[in-house]
Amino acid sequence: MPSLATLLRLAALLVLLAFFLQPAWFEPLLRPLVQANAPAIYDRGNLFWLTMLHLRTVFVATLAAALVAVSLAILVTREAGAEFLPLSRSLVNIGQTFPPVAVLALAVPIFGFGEKPTLIALFLYGLLPIFENALTGLTTLPPAVMEAARGAGMTERQRLFKIELPLALPVILTGIRLSVVISLATATIGSTVAARTLGEVIIAGLQSNNLAFVLQGGLIVAVLAVLIHDALQGLERALAGRAHV
């Protein structure tokens, strides 16, 4: 029987889909938040399309961050690359040192307005959690398993792809989950440099003093963050279970 938490997540997903398909159903709930004659439902664009663009931006940035961070973690956990660990840590900390707004301000003169500056900011911001978790996963593998792999005559490449990465995957996925949740919220500021994200809805609400717009943009991002966080967490548990079989 599904747990209460599962039922609540399913209800949140259904409400979100209903809002995309039939936003007029929710107008009576939002009407008290707006001034007379002001629209209660965001009418300056398609909310579903904006949500898809928002998710695409987060997906591309997280994928790029994961590829770079995991590659760096693999490099510094090899004997030949161990000396690059301090440098790698400094590189992945760049995103945490500079706020996303500062990265946007530096990137716009070079790449122009639009999605590119936002992707760069999210990429830099997502490196650290993925790198640290990948490093932890690759350096805490069961010694007995690694010794058995060496005893079986597996090469370093075979051990990496057949033993190390599969065993470390649940921990790596935890870092990706953290990166995704951070990026989902941070991506909203991309709309300040003309990126197509749900930040458009929030900014439009702030500019017109329309609390309904602000609430819509904020709640969609929040629901997406919760649903994606829980989905990835469930995948982590499944992978961890398989790793211990």
What is the percentage of the chain residues whose pLDDT exceeds 90? 49
Going by pLDDT thresholds of 50, 70 and 90, the confidence category of residue 1 is low
Q: Would you state the pLDDT for residue 16?
A: 93
Domains of the chain: 44-243 (1.10.3720.10)
Structure tokens of 93?
A: 């900390």
Tens of pLDDT, residue by residue over 147-200, are 888 888 888 888 888 889 999 999 999 999 999 999 999 999 988 888 899 999
Cβ proximity of 205 and 188 under 8 Å: no
Residue 243 predicted with pLDDT over 70 = no
Please give the model's pTM, rounded to 2 decimal places: 0.91
